[in-house]
Homo-oligomer: A and B are copies of this chain.
Amino acid sequence: MLFINKMSSKPIYEQIVDSVERNILLGVYPPGCALPSVRELSMKLGINPNTIQKSYGELTRRGVILTSPGSGCYVSENALDILKIQAQAKLQTIRQLAIELQLAGVPKGDVLATIAEVYAHPKSPPSHSETTSEGGVDT
């Protein structure tokens, strides 16, 4: 279900957050769906329960999931909307990177081609593909 790389530079709790959000977008975890329990994930991934807890806490803070104590965690009804808003922030990150690329003399066409190439491969349905390629995205 969730793929975590313990050796990545990206913090594990952040990888879990990203994975869950990706699964929600992919429809694997539709709104209302119950997430795996902290204990279950902890064992399955071989990761400290505190780390899982931190991830779920972050997702709760973002409003992506709801925590009902004693019952479990569920994907919130407006999770998809929230995730789309979050995506807008990533657009700003791209914008900042584009500014740096422009400064370095990278041709506009190269950047546009990269974007076009990504969108040429539809990823919306719950199909699988090479998504994680180790990344250094900060903040």
Q: Chain A interface: which size bin?
A: 35 or more
- By a CB distance below 8 angstroms, the chain B residues around A68 are 6-9, 12
- By a CB distance below 8 angstroms, the chain B residues around A125 are 103, 105
The answer on a CB contact under 8 Å between B115 and A88 is no
Partner of A87, one of B10, B106, B136: B106
User: How many angstroms from the CA of A61 to the CA of B62 in the assembled complex?
Assistant: 11
The answer on a CB contact under 8 Å between A7 and B66 is yes
The answer on a CB contact under 8 Å between B74 and A7 is yes
User: How far in angstroms is the closest Cβ of chain B from A130?
Assistant: 7
Q: Tell me the A residues contacting B by CB distance below 8 Å.
A: 6-12, 22, 25-26, 61, 66, 68-71, 74, 80, 83-84, 86-88, 90-112, 114-119, 123-126, 128, 130-139
